[in-house]
Structure 1
Amino acid sequence: MLHIPLWKRVIIIGLCALGVMIAVPNLFYSSVETHNDAVLAVEARGGAGTPEQAAAVAMWPNWMPSGLVNLGLDLRGGAHLLAEVQVGDVYEARIDAMWPLVRDALRDVRDEVGNVRRQPSVPGVLRVAISKPEGIQQALTAVNALATPVVSLTGVGQNDIEVTVDGAEIIVQLSEAERVATDNRTIQQSLEIIRRRVDAAGTREPTIQRQGEDRILIQVPGIGSASELKALIGTTAKLTFNPVVGRTADAGANPGPRNLLLPSMDEEGQFYIVEQTPVVTGEDLTDAQPAFDQNNRPAVSFRFNPAGGRLFGDYTANNIGSPFAIVLDNEVISAPVIQSHIAGGSGIITGSFSVEESTNLAVLLRAGALPAEMTFLEERTVGPELGQDSIDAGKVAAVIAIVIVGIYMVASYGLFGVFANTALAINIALIFAILTMIGGTLTLPGIAGIVLTIGMAVDANVLVFERIREEMKTAKGPARAIEIGYEKAMSAIIDANVTTFITAAALFFFGAGPVRGFAVVLGIGIITSVFSAIFVTRLLISVWFGWRRPKTLDL
């Protein structure tokens, strides 16, 4: 047991050294974070950074690892939002989109149903009147043919619309099964779009999860305020490219049928009259990136998918010399004149943007439009001062735990206690190294998990050292006592840590939020504790024993 092959020693020492190197940047969190931000800024500018950025890059050696453990909302500060998704808007949009289909279906049986006319109704319900009441059954059959099966596990065998008759009117609305499926799709799509927007903005480890039937919890560490987060998430970012009919300074001008009167984003008091039907929409975008135009002003470059690129190219080829409005959320960003055929499905959006505004616009366009509006029910900002207080309190707790445990181990086991304390320090470094590598988030409960791990980490060493004491009483030599002590303590160590790991796994899979953060740190701590107790401490004892060759052990 005391003889450890050279290859095992190299692996153990290598893993410990690697873990310490990866964990070290967390001791200089602010400097390394500033360094990382500056590196990203320099790369975004093509390698030409400002003197301030160069100074920030120099704050940390490039040859050293620069990964950091992400700090949670309670440690770093940030923004907290609880939003309610207006799923009813989706019902209304779905039913409005059904009207052209219903109209065309009834036109095919015009001889039986006569004229077709849409009637006023509540949102989410389509009422269609026919002029020949005797043809109501033919109308019902024609509209029912538009129904499609519900795409969900709970809606198998059911259709997406319910079609009923009220006198000489056909009433169309979404079925209950389709409403449930639509709710789920809307929430999932909203979650994904919010996640893509927030992540693309460079924030660290946001918590974005569904709560209840139609609510979403959003927590983003490191962001300035809830209003800043709301401005990013709450923007619908619906982009369209519309033909321009004209422009006017009259806010009450009649745009005419199938046209829209939209304000200019850059020119106050100016309005554009554009065709209601866009040539191409933001749904056809595959990419959008911040860029600079030919005058070195901030802009946004974009690229369409093949279908959108073909429509965009055909329109620009046929309308050279005509203005073309780029519309974002019912505001005209710009209306450039088409100078030539724009082939390849790509282009650039110019306007009075700052660099930050062009970056945010690119983020919104890449993420896509939210499927429904959101109402923010709760908003809260956790200041960085409160987060720093939590970090300081966690540090104090961890330091006190380490000092007390360290004193106890040295007082109880002498030099062997020093070995255990050394392994404990390596164990903590390995925890931070693993959290850094997996991109984990450290929260206040996570710090509690580290403090608990400190106590558990020496427990395995205590079991080994006590077994060695017992073996020394049987008049065996030191080498044999150490060997038997490790052998007999191994099963107890494995059993204790496996049962605790199962508990941590249950907390992770069945818990949420802070509970999962605690479980992650606890689970990692169990693995590193077993490694440090079985391999690191034993290696230290083996090296010491081979050097000193003691005749007895002071335990």
Structure 2
Amino acid sequence: MNKFPLWKYVLILLVVSLGVVYSLPNIYAPDPAIQVSGSSASLKPTDETLATVKTRLDELGIAYFGEQLTEKNVLVRLKSQDDQMRARREVENALGENYVVAVNLAPTTPEWLQNLGATPMSLGLDLAGGVHFLLEVDTPKVLKDTIESLEQQLKREIRTNRLRGVTVRAGADEMRVTARTEELRDEVLAIMRKEMPELELERSDEEGVFALKATLSEQFIREKEDYAVNQNLTTLRNRVNEIGVAEPLVQRQGRNRIVVQLPGIQDASDAKKILGKTANLQFRLEAEKGALISQKERFNFKDERDQAHYGGADLERRVLVYGKNVMNARASFDAQTSKPQVSITLDGDGATQMNRGTRDNIGRRMGVLFIEYKPVSRTFTNAKGEEITAVDMVAESEVISLATIQAALGKNFVITGLDSPAEASELALLLRAGALAAPMTYVEERTIGPSLGAENIALGVKSVQIGLALVLLFMLIYYRVFGVFANFALAANLVLIVAVMSMLGATLTLPGIAGIVLTVGMAVDANVLIFSRIREEIKNGMPNQSAIKAGYDRAFVTILDANLTTLIVAVILYAIGSGPIKGFAVTLSVGILTSMFTAIMGTRALVNLVYGNRSVKKLWI
């Protein structure tokens, strides 16, 4: 009685041994470092790149060591974390725009552990320090732009079908069509049903006016909002990569919000300028003399001093190519004038549209329109008499270049008319990363210093140590020898939690540490139930060996039910929670699974080794 077969002992020993191996990397503290990689996959760092980095760090007096050159990047370890941001900025300036310089934490894991695939857990923003942004996507503007686009489409259809006496007006979230006769309205209705299935149409007759009210369907609104948020997610991820941040977090929160966390970044100004900026280009032909007002728009020049005609330019409303068709963009200098410029490469559709739009207009001017949305605050009083401050995104459109088309353009061309190399670099970055589908506003911004992150780690470790020590002491005093078995199982449980999270590549956060502390307390619950049951059976006169067997067998169902319900709650928290809640749910879920293994199977193995198949007169429990 109470003896495991050999394979069970081997299995337990193997699991615990693997846990020890894959948790070991976490005891090696990483070194602060900067990482240099090419801005494109084709650009590889060289020995010259590494030499430039070392030279600049020497000039700044920043201590470094352990420099490495690989096929993908250059990694230089620093002696002090306080030097990271300064080193990143200066090295980035020294290397130029062709390289991305990121702050990083270089692992110090021994090579033999790395060969086994053992890596440490990543640290979250609250432990590593960095900046946190919560951005809100302006989805109402997306819907407004959609309505205006449908308005232009309907007007073209009306002109094509030569329907006279029809008026179309678009509002913020609906479109209204009026016709002189009911027959005209029915013809427009047929066109809209065929060409615009996303609209819900409603007839209305008022005082002899035959009207149609068109609104976007709920399903289409949801799809359009999802597209805008997902497109912004993709663009933000690209921009974060361009900024140069190791292990960033960019994820959706709720219906129209996005969370961006940049570990290691302490100066949020540069990141904020790039992340939230909605900049795009439009390529339009200059309007011909005599063009109708409805066919042209007037825009100011970005720098009017360099333009032949002061006071702005009239451009056609029709857009030849949008910024979304830009496949690549690089800042450079004009060989003749030495002025900054951006070399543009269009995708297939953009190249086709550009060629089609320019081949028949050689000799005419083409304007490059730069559109940027900037936040503008306004204060108003609501119905309750309270002053409310709202932030609106206002579009500023300026012509940055107006040049004569000398020949049909295609896939590659350049943009001039920029003020400085910095502006050219920024425009190239925004075009490479992609355009935002909708403007965004900053709802929340937090900066966590590296010293605060280190303090959080120290306090978290201290809380785990105190909790563990108290639990170990209680189990040892109250359950004596069996308490020793439970303490060994608890130690193995902590090792397995760290190992599993490291193998999964999970990120450890402060709530995650709280989950570990909670798991420490919960892990001994199973042993308390088992040991209390054994005591009860002995008190009822059952033999010691039978009491041990009954204690484990009869308490198992209760333990399983209790842990299963907690695991269900943890899964729900992970499914619907945000970042910190997810971190807590992950450690709690892993802790529940590992504690079931160690508290039941682990302690049972130790008890069987000590008391199994022996005549036991007294149990120290």
If the length of structure 2 is used for normalisation, what is the TM-score?
0.65
Change (3 A) 1:486 1:96: closer
2:436 matched to 1:369? yes
2:553 matched to 1:487? yes
Q: CA deviation at 1:79?
A: 2.4
2:10 matched to 1:2? no
Change (3 A) 1:427 1:448: same
Query: Equivalent residue for 1:137?
Result: 182
Match of 1:218 among 254, 259, 278: 259
If the length of structure 1 is used for normalisation, what is the TM-score?
0.71
Q: CA deviation at 1:320?
A: 9.0
Q: CA deviation at 1:308?
A: 3.5
Q: 1:192 is matched by which residue type in structure 2?
A: N
Q: CA deviation at 1:80?
A: 3.8
Distance 2:605 2:356 in 1: 73
Query: Equivalent residue for 1:205?
Result: 249
Query: Equivalent residue for 1:98?
Result: 151
Q: What is the percent sequence identity of the aligned residues?
A: 28
Equivalent runs, 1:56-455 vs 2, <5 Å = 56=77, 59-61=108-110, 64=114, 65-72=118-125, 76=129, 78-81=131-134, 83=136, 85=138, 87=140, 90-91=143-144, 93-105=146-158, 108-110=161-163, 113=164, 133=180, 136-148=181-193, 159-162=199-202, 164=204, 173-175=213-215, 178=216, 180-181=218-219, 183-200=221-238, 201=240, 202=245, 204-210=248-254, 216=257, 218=259, 220=261, 222=263, 224=266, 230-242=272-284, 258=296, 261=299, 263-264=301-302, 270=307, 276-284=317-325, 288=328, 304=347, 306-312=348-354, 327-329=369-371, 330=397, 352-353=421-422, 357=426, 360-361=429-430, 364-365=433-434, 368-371=435-438, 373-376=439-442, 378-384=443-449, 386-414=452-480, 416-438=482-504, 440-455=506-521
Query: Equivalent residue for 1:249?
Result: none
- Deviations 1:94-151 (CA, angstroms, capped at 9, x unpaired): 13542342353265354xx46x6767x8655666777xx4xx2232112212334999
Q: CA deviation at 1:530?
A: 0.6
2:456 matched to 1:456? no
Q: CA deviation at 1:394?
A: 2.9
User: Are the equivalent residues in 1 in contact too, given 2:287–2:296 (CA < 8 A)?
Assistant: no
- Deviations 1:468-512 (CA, angstroms, capped at 9, x unpaired): 56677868576x765554334323322221232233345445666
Secondary structure of 2:444 counterpart: strand
User: Are the equivalent residues in 2 in contact too, given 1:263–1:269 (CA < 8 A)?
Assistant: no
Extract unaligned runs of 5+ from structure 1: 152-156, 247-253
Q: CA deviation at 1:292?
A: 8.6
- Deviations 1:244-280 (CA, angstroms, capped at 9, x unpaired): 789xxxxxxx999636646458x98557876543333
Change (3 A) 1:260 1:379: same
User: Are the equivalent residues in 1 in contact too, given 2:135–2:444 (CA < 8 A)?
Assistant: yes
Query: Equivalent residue for 1:250?
Result: none
Change (3 A) 1:417 1:290: farther
Query: Equivalent residue for 1:502?
Result: 568
User: Are the equivalent residues in 2 in contact too, given 1:207–1:219 (CA < 8 A)?
Assistant: yes
Distance 2:127 2:150 in 1: 45
Secondary structure of 1:55 counterpart: strand
Query: Equivalent residue for 1:46?
Result: 44
Match of 1:55 among 76, 79, 85: 76
Change (3 A) 1:13 1:310: farther
Query: Equivalent residue for 1:251?
Result: none
User: Are the equivalent residues in 2 in contact too, given 1:87–1:186 (CA < 8 A)?
Assistant: no
Change (3 A) 1:87 1:504: same
Change (3 A) 1:542 1:313: farther
Change (3 A) 1:86 1:532: same
Q: 1:2 is matched by which residue type in structure 2?
A: K
Q: How many residues align?
A: 515
Q: CA deviation at 1:455?
A: 0.7
Q: CA deviation at 1:533?
A: 1.8
Distance 1:335 1:518 in 2: 56
Change (3 A) 1:107 1:277: closer
CA RMSD of aligned residues (A): 5.1
User: Are the equivalent residues in 2 in contact too, given 1:259–1:274 (CA < 8 A)?
Assistant: yes
In proportion to residue count, which structure has more strand?
A: 2
Change (3 A) 1:158 1:260: closer
Q: 2:225 is matched by which residue type in structure 1?
A: I
Q: 2:200 is matched by which residue type in structure 1?
A: D
Distance 2:617 2:341 in 1: 77
Q: 2:157 is matched by which residue type in structure 1?
A: D
Query: Equivalent residue for 1:534?
Result: 600
Extract unaligned runs of 5+ from structure 2: 55-66, 68-73, 78-105, 372-396
Q: 2:76 is matched by which residue type in structure 1?
A: A
Q: CA deviation at 1:405?
A: 1.0
Change (3 A) 1:281 1:150: closer
